[in-house]
Amino acid sequence: MGVFRGVTMKTPATNHTYRRNGRVQQIERSRATQDALLRLATDPQDACALVAVYDASGNHLKASAVRWFGRDVELQSRTVLNILVAIARQAGTYDPQSADAAEWVRNCADTEARRLREALDAGGSRARRTRRAM
């Protein structure tokens, strides 16, 4: 009996049907994400579905936060939470026929992070204008 990436196999490692490589795991995550999005579409408050999305796509959500907000850990955390709220709110627009679930989540994350960055920049500009006018 051998072990391959944490999975016990009953046959030698040369039998590829029992291997759990990155591609198989990616497909399983995509299915889990799709199922979670469909559950969120019917119930945006389904916490278990939202956790499933985070488990499958958390690294992509964090990457969007870093891309738009840099290394500020507090802003990253708030951004990820806002992205999850946006995903739950917009899950009803997900169409499994037109987009892969993981791709849809990445697009939603990037769109929401960009929206938050623009709102933060616009708010900061207004505050500077107000201080100058006083």
CATH of 2-133, one of 3.30.420.40, 1.10.1060.10, 1.10.1740.10, 3.40.1160.10: 1.10.1740.10
Q: Pick the closest to residue 116 from 77, 59, 58 (CA basis).
A: 77
- pTM comes to 0.74
Give the residues across from 9 on adjacent strands: 2
The pLDDT, as a whole number, for residue 20 is 56
Q: pLDDT by residue for the chain (134 residues), tens digit each?
A: 444 344 443 433 333 333 456 777 777 778 899 999 999 999 999 999 999 999 999 999 999 999 999 999 999 999 999 999 999 999 999 999 999 999 999 999 999 999 999 999 998 765 444 333 43
CA–CA separation, 115 vs 1, rounded Å? Answer: 52
